[in-house]
Structure 1
Amino acid sequence: MHVFLPDGKQLDLNAGATALDAAKAIGPRLAQDALAATSNGDLVDLMTPLPEGARITLITKKNPAEAAPLFRHSLGHVMSQAVGEFYERKGFDPEAVKRGVGPSIENGFYQDFDLPEPLKEEELPQIEAIMREILGRNLEFSRAEVSKAEALARFSYDPYKAELIGALPEDEPITFYTQGSYTDLCRGPHFPSTGKLPAAFKLMSTSGAYWRGNEKNPILQRVYGVAFASQKELDEYLTRLEEAKRRDHRKLGREMELFVIDPLVGRGLPLWLPNGTILREELMRFLREQQFQRDYQGVITPNIGNLELYKTSGHYQNYGDSNFSPITVDDEQYMLKPMNCPHHVRIYASKPRSYRDLPVRLAEFGTVYRYEQSGELNGLTRVRGFTQDDAHIFCRPDQLKKEFLDVLDLTVLVLKTFGMNDVRFRVGTRDPESTKYVGSDENWVTAERGIMEAVEEVGLPYTVEPGDAAFYGPKLDFVVRDVIGREWQLGTIQVDYNLPERFDISYVGEDGADHRPVMIHRAPFGSLERFVGILIEHYGGDFPLWLAPRQIALIPIADRHNEYAESLAAEFKRVGLRAEVDDSTNRMNAKVRNAELSKIPVMLVVGDQEQERREVSVRERTPEGHKERKGVGFDALLAELQERYTTRA
């Protein structure tokens, strides 16, 4: 057999050769340094036979990060072995430890266990210590193909492995990987030996997990770990994790009194408190102003709709388990609204339209409902009822590109306004193998090509994600990296030739005949709930002045300054700024500290001198730290803050 190297050179090998054989054929030093390989672009280990004619690259200890999924998977096996040894040292039979699945995941790995007694979080460092022992033993990973009967015999004591083996097709090779005395059912791939694995790992937590994700099955104990190619990367990750905890929107939302989720109201149904409502309304006001400049028309639609509406649109069939169950009213079936778009289509269809009327741009902050599994709910970022900043543009085909580019410009403006400048663009196309998509091939090709041409016209780099389209059309997603390096999918723009067809809507063209409009679905925020959750963490609760629910705290030094402070607060409120006076009996330093903890951006201290001169002493929170100014004239400050608020500076 032969394979090809990156430079195109052909390497002749014996039949059934592995990547290690290829490395040895090139040179002994490379064979010693090799950790893994790619074969036709797929990551493989050094033990698996290569296909004839494969194009291969070898990954060495010079670039271990390229093999991260492999070393994370191998460390998962090491952790599984360490847990077994831990319980053996406690006197339990080795077969008392049973194992579910254990894949590598982003940044690390996990393994599910059925244990003779629960593993405590405080025992994780002991497991880590055994893992380091196993790395020190430099155990080789070996691969073996076995029959189904052999596999079942080997794991006869473990019902979870037996179930996995039993579900495998009869003609599919079954592989075991072994290091030392530990063997597991596994497809691989793996590192060559435990001694070559990076020691930059840490076990993070344990949790309960239903076997195979089914709540009718037993609950197993899942142990999570993280792993990186170097200690520096691990330390940076742990630092980001601590920062993420500090910025957690659930924690800050509680401390800043933005929202609550009350179990009596229902899981996944947030209640917006007064401070959170201000934040939400500022976002809505900002977007409404932008939409007004772009000739959008506001509409309002109900929170439920006739089931036939969602059957016609396809949302009922294609959203499946994400829909709430229909309810019967007066012999008709209704459903909580999963999407705003069918309602907007019916508004478009409510009167005849001419080519001169198009584009029609309908916008709504519309609340929709999705049934999310309770285990997936997460503060504001994963909820069951949320408000989309939805708009649907109905346009002629010749208007499509301009309208798409205008929406693209609006979405980029929205993200830049909130300091979200690290954005990547992702075009979601249909998966040709899937049957979930509606509409003709011709319309899909036209829509996908239109999105890519528009993005290329403005020079934005993008990636294509097959299978990521909505069931009715392709889309452009905006994936934002926040200040601590996490990625979030926020805004989206979708091109849709299919809903206009399904609802049979039209416009009268210049030729007097009926023509089909094209729809653009767009939501720059995505949803207010998710956007606010991400925004809280992006800013760490330190919102800019215009967005902060509590903007200005006036802090009298003594009771005799309260009246002056109240008069200043009234002047702020007169021009639309949110100001409050701390007239508590606390000392001034305590008042300042309370305002700091509440993340109020502007604190104004007033005493005898300030009152006499109509001045204030300013203490302001900024991204760079605190900024202080003494003896600032109030009228000048009022004009300055009013200007910053109105311009959203």
Structure 2
Amino acid sequence: MEKVKVTLPDGSVREYEAGVTIKDVAYSIGSGLGRDAIAGIVNEKEVDADFKIEKDVELSIITIDSQEALEIIRHTASHVMAQAVKRLYDNVQVAIGPAIEDGFYYDFDLEETFNEESLVEIEAEMKKIIEEAIKIEKKVLPREEAFELMKSRNEKYKLELIDELDDQMISFYFQGDYVDLCRGPHLPSTGYVKAFKLLNVAGAYWRGDENNQMLQRIYGTAFAKEKDLEKYLNRVEEAKKRDHRKLGKELDLFSMQDEGRGFPFFHPKGMALRNALVDFWKEEHYQAGYEEIQTPIILDESLWHQSGHWDHYQDNMYFTKIDEEAHAVKPMNCPGGILVYKDSMHSYRELPIRMAELGLVHRHEMSGALHGLMRVRSFTQDDAHIYCLPSQIETELSGVIKLVDKIYSAFGFNYNVELSTKPEKAMGDDALWNKATDALQNAIEKNNLDYEVNAGDGAFYGPKIDFHLEDSLGRTWQCGTIQLDFQMPERFDLNYIGQDGEEHRPVMIHRAIYGSIERFIGILIEHFAGAFPTWMAPVQVEIIPVSDDQIDYAMQVKEELKQEKIRVEVDSRSEKVGYKIRDAQVKQVPYMLIVGSREEDNGTVSVRDRREGDLGTSNLAEFKENILEEIAAKNINTEDIEL
């Protein structure tokens, strides 16, 4: 019998008879490993546990409790869910059902509408399927046979998918009475699915195209252990409480109106929060050597042809006519910023030039994709464009990275970094792209940042660094970005006069830190659950008079605090003090000042913290000094973000 050599991650080599499976190898190492083995990685490709090794390979064994197993568990759970739905509903058509971050989904075409009761029934059927421990087998069929198989089962969506595949051999997974078109890998049997939960139902167009059939999408999640599932479900419940749309309404920060779908309306308290973020942004950018500009929202269509947006982005743009000439509402600020640079001749002595813009942009989003402040049709990008010499690239990139770190630190965010490389549809030649990518990589490494490479996800004009924030619920949000661009200077014929008296091309760096102010506010609302640090709280101090007799004194205290630009309100309602205190706490006001006759007589205030409660009596000057120090230091109370 022919022998094969299997090289394990520790470098050890084991010899087996050809045809040995991943499961067999695992059992040969140890019975515990054999029981836990659910798949393998053979020569960097994931395969099923029953995959037969026919030649020398490098092998890593995936166990049920490993991080790599999660996607396989969830993908299998989606198939179990589809099988359950097929058992319960005779006339259902199944579409696609992948594993996703934190769970899985499956799309179904069914006249009957799924509801909460449906999910309970489907879960119960899934449990039966799991108890049956149905063996899951992969079979690769010739294209024609695959087509006939799905045709015999009346699976129109699967037939459409097969029709689009170039493969002559198509892979399926057989799971008892259920068969699914899939590349895998999967768990050895349905019995390996232990901890799962169906979460909700949503609408989804087939293939994400609003011109196609609307399907019903059931979302669920699955974990290797029940305790991990419980932890996740607790996090989901906490996320519901922190939903920025819910808190935005309760705290009177913003609203979304039918008259402007996808266009947020900021209320006075929301604007107070927004202005705090903007003021902070402006001060930090001034200190970092940026100058602020503003460019028009609507510009001639020809500009967008020149920039390349017409070819790469027009489906997301809005258009209009002015004096019978075609114009576009800007989806990005870059072309306008370029025109400001191009308006005058520049010397190498001026470079780097750093131009920052809080620019309102509009992008067409499908109505089904809109989500509070997180996905809107108009938003303010905190853009900046740096024009520099080639010799200044790495210094400027490092400067941006340091500024990003400083700003994110003010909110208590941890973050991770991705380097995104050239996409399929891109402008420019490979040499320039490689040069730009190398420069970004060097800047990341010189700043000692850990990073991952996100191949093919760069902008159409250049590679980029993306910053992903981690919030208090452990979720990540892509906000900041740095993009190195050799293309736009070419397309717009940008120049500077060099030391030799000749014209040269500057290098252009695009960057944003908040990304979108609206979305950043949404993230902050959920991160802090509305309990913003004092420096950004819409109302920093609530003055609560004990009776109507102290209203004049309360107003006097308010005016003194306002002189220091402290955001302050007086609750003059004819309600009991306890009620007013609870209301201020619900509104997450950092400090309450209780003023009764004694405080008025002594010229003092009784201070309450929203978390710590009564802090005792203080004279107003002392309170002012303390709160102004806290605001200036941008202190963050970790209790405000802990679950």
On whether the aligned pair clears a TM of 0.5, the verdict is yes
Structure 2 residue corresponding to 1:648, chosen from 620, 634, 637: 634
Q: Is 1:298 aligned to residue 295 of structure 2?
A: no
CA distance in 2, matches of 1:523, 1:51: 51
| Aligned partner letter, 2:305 | K
Question: Counterpart in 2 of 1:162?
Answer: 159
Local SS of the residue matching 1:637 = helix
Structure 1 residues 567 and 367: CA distance shift in structure 2, 3 A: same
CA distance in 2, matches of 1:537, 1:26: 47
Pairs aligned (count): 630
TM-score, normalised by the number of residues in structure 1: 0.92
Structure 1 residues 403 and 176: CA distance shift in structure 2, 3 A: closer
Question: Counterpart in 2 of 1:430?
Answer: 422
Structure 2 residue corresponding to 1:552, chosen from 514, 520, 541: 541
Query: Any idea what the Cα deviations from partners look like across 1:511-543, whole Å, max 9, x if unmatched?
Result: 111111111112111111111111111111111
Q: Is 1:139 aligned to residue 160 of structure 2?
A: no
CA positional deviation for 1:12: 5.4
Local SS of the residue matching 1:616 = strand
Structure 2 residue corresponding to 1:356, chosen from 346, 349, 352: 349
Query: Any idea what the Cα deviations from partners look like across 1:27-70, whole Å, max 9, x if unmatched?
Result: 77755542111122222112345574432122234x34431111
Question: Counterpart in 1 of 2:531?
Answer: 542
Q: Is 1:46 aligned to residue 49 of structure 2?
A: yes
Structure 1 residues 639 and 310: CA distance shift in structure 2, 3 A: same
Question: Counterpart in 2 of 1:91?
Answer: none
Query: Any idea what the Cα deviations from partners look like across 1:137-158, whole Å, max 9, x if unmatched?
Result: 2221122233344334433333
CA positional deviation for 1:217: 3.0
Local SS of the residue matching 1:47 = coil
Local SS of the residue matching 1:83 = helix
| Aligned partner letter, 1:598 | K
| Aligned partner letter, 1:364 | E
| Aligned partner letter, 2:160 | E
Query: Any idea what the Cα deviations from partners look like across 1:218-277, whole Å, max 9, x if unmatched?
Result: 32222221001111111111111111111111111111111111121x221111111111
CA distance in 1, matches of 2:226, 2:472: 22
Alignment of structure 1 residues 595-634 onto 2, 5 Å: 595-621=584-610, 625-634=611-620
CA distance in 2, matches of 1:569, 1:119: 54
Question: Counterpart in 1 of 2:22?
Answer: 19
Structure 1 residues 47 and 646: CA distance shift in structure 2, 3 A: same
Question: Counterpart in 1 of 2:459?
Answer: 470
Structure 2 residue corresponding to 1:399, chosen from 392, 399, 402: 392
CA positional deviation for 1:108: 1.9
CA distance in 1, matches of 2:568, 2:32: 71
CA distance in 2, matches of 1:527, 1:467: 23
Structure 1 residues 552 and 203: CA distance shift in structure 2, 3 A: same
Contact 2:544 2:571 in 1 (8 A): yes
Contact 1:429 1:468 in 2 (8 A): yes
Contact 1:65 1:229 in 2 (8 A): no
Structure 1 residues 275 and 402: CA distance shift in structure 2, 3 A: same
Question: Counterpart in 1 of 2:622?
Answer: 636
Structure 1 residues 220 and 16: CA distance shift in structure 2, 3 A: farther
Question: Counterpart in 2 of 1:456?
Answer: 445
| Aligned partner letter, 1:167 | E
Structure 2 residue corresponding to 1:319, chosen from 282, 303, 313: 313
| Aligned partner letter, 2:461 | Y
CA distance in 2, matches of 1:168, 1:508: 54
Question: Counterpart in 2 of 1:75?
Answer: 77
Alignment of structure 1 residues 397-546 onto 2, 5 Å: 397-420=390-413, 422-431=414-423, 434=424, 436-546=425-535
Identity among equivalent pairs (%): 44
CA positional deviation for 1:203: 0.9
TM-score, normalised by the number of residues in structure 2: 0.93
CA distance in 1, matches of 2:324, 2:224: 63
Contact 1:107 1:228 in 2 (8 A): no
Question: Counterpart in 2 of 1:2?
Answer: 4
Question: Counterpart in 1 of 2:217?
Answer: 222
Structure 2 residue corresponding to 1:182, chosen from 168, 178, 183: 178
CA positional deviation for 1:330: 2.7
Query: Any idea what the Cα deviations from partners look like across 1:278-335, whole Å, max 9, x if unmatched?
Result: 11111111111112222221111100111111211112212131222x3232343210
Structure 1 residues 603 and 29: CA distance shift in structure 2, 3 A: closer
Structure 1 residues 360 and 593: CA distance shift in structure 2, 3 A: same
Structure 1 residues 165 and 553: CA distance shift in structure 2, 3 A: same
Query: Any idea what the Cα deviations from partners look like across 1:66-121, whole Å, max 9, x if unmatched?
Result: 3111121111121222223334xxxxxx4x23211122222222222233633321
CA positional deviation for 1:379: 0.8
CA distance in 2, matches of 1:616, 1:200: 54
Question: Counterpart in 2 of 1:90?
Answer: none
| Aligned partner letter, 1:162 | L
CA positional deviation for 1:22: 4.4
Contact 1:508 1:515 in 2 (8 A): yes
Structure 1 residues 342 and 453: CA distance shift in structure 2, 3 A: same
CA distance in 2, matches of 1:465, 1:139: 37
CA distance in 2, matches of 1:362, 1:348: 9
Let me know the Cα RMSD of the aligned residues: 2.1
Contact 2:18 2:53 in 1 (8 A): no
CA distance in 2, matches of 1:451, 1:203: 42
Query: Any idea what the Cα deviations from partners look like across 1:4-28, whole Å, max 9, x if unmatched?
Result: 3214455556666643454466677
Query: Any idea what the Cα deviations from partners look like across 1:163-198, whole Å, max 9, x if unmatched?
Result: 3333333x521233222333333322211112222x
Query: Any idea what the Cα deviations from partners look like across 1:571-615, whole Å, max 9, x if unmatched?
Result: 111111111111111111111122112211111111121111111
CA distance in 2, matches of 1:394, 1:165: 49
Query: Any idea what the Cα deviations from partners look like across 1:338-361, whole Å, max 9, x if unmatched?
Result: 111111111111111111111211
Local SS of the residue matching 1:576 = coil
| Aligned partner letter, 2:315 | D
Contact 1:270 1:380 in 2 (8 A): yes
Question: Counterpart in 1 of 2:638?
Answer: none
| Aligned partner letter, 1:141 | I
Contact 2:18 2:54 in 1 (8 A): no
| Aligned partner letter, 2:416 | R
Query: Any idea what the Cα deviations from partners look like across 1:385-405, whole Å, max 9, x if unmatched?
Result: 111111111111222222221
CA distance in 2, matches of 1:292, 1:634: 33
Question: Counterpart in 1 of 2:640?
Answer: none
Alignment of structure 1 residues 89-100 onto 2, 5 Å: 94=90, 96-100=91-95
CA positional deviation for 1:507: 1.1
Question: Counterpart in 1 of 2:190?
Answer: 194
| Aligned partner letter, 1:601 | P
**Stretch moving more, 351-360 or 122-131:** 122-131
CA positional deviation for 1:383: 1.0
Local SS of the residue matching 2:117 = helix
CA distance in 1, matches of 2:569, 2:233: 39
| Aligned partner letter, 1:86 | L
CA distance in 2, matches of 1:269, 1:29: 56
CA distance in 1, matches of 2:399, 2:202: 46
Q: Is 1:289 aligned to residue 290 of structure 2?
A: no
CA distance in 2, matches of 1:67, 1:283: 41
CA distance in 2, matches of 1:131, 1:547: 48
Q: Is 1:113 aligned to residue 113 of structure 2?
A: no
| Aligned partner letter, 1:358 | L
CA positional deviation for 1:380: 0.8
Contact 2:143 2:168 in 1 (8 A): no
Structure 1 residues 181 and 558: CA distance shift in structure 2, 3 A: same
Structure 1 residues 24 and 234: CA distance shift in structure 2, 3 A: closer
